[in-house]
Amino acid sequence: MKTVLIADDSRFMRKWLSDILVSANYLVIEEAENGQEAVSKFKSAKPDIVLMDVTMPLKNGVAALSEIIEICPEANVVMCSSMGQKSLILECLQLGAKDFIVKPYFTNLIPILRNLD
């Protein structure tokens, strides 16, 4: 069973994503409310997958993504954001994100995660 860290400042969004993941047999082992917490929890929990929001307090998701990739270049980070501008998506992919999902369109979430295997 793949382990997942969900990083999103919205408790509602973390719960929604967690429910989707659990129903598809993923194990949510950590949640983070901001990018700083996401990096810290990534280091300690070493999840198989990170779902990362872009807009978060203290440290945004793009900065957290960059740090996580620096720590572990092969990390499976999938960005999730309602801000789906092409330039932002490209920036995240160039930094090392495996994919980018525009909220709230999660129909492709599980197929995207299954392709990370």
Say which CATH number the domain at 101 has: 3.40.50.2300
pLDDT for 15 equals 97
> Which pair of structure tokens corresponds to residue 106?
């999660």
pLDDT for 29 equals 98
- What's the rounded mean pLDDT across residues 87-107? 93
pLDDT for 117 equals 64
pTM (two decimals): 0.95
30 is in which domain, residue-wise? 3-114
Long-range contacts of 68-73 (CB under 8 A, 24+ apart): 68/38, 68/39, 68/42, 69/95, 69/96, 71/39, 71/42, 71/43, 72/42
The confidence band for 2, taking pLDDT boundaries of 50, 70 and 90, is very high
- What's the rounded mean pLDDT across residues 80-100? 90
From the list 59, 36, 34, 41, the residue with the least C-alpha distance to 5 is 41
Total number of domains in the chain: 1
pLDDT (tens digit per residue) in 28-86: 999 999 999 999 999 999 999 999 999 999 999 999 999 999 999 999 999 998 876 88
pLDDT for 14 equals 97
At a CB cut-off of 8 Å and minimum separation 6, what does 35 contact? Answer: 7, 52, 56, 58, 59, 60, 61, 63, 64
- What's the rounded mean pLDDT across residues 81-95? 88
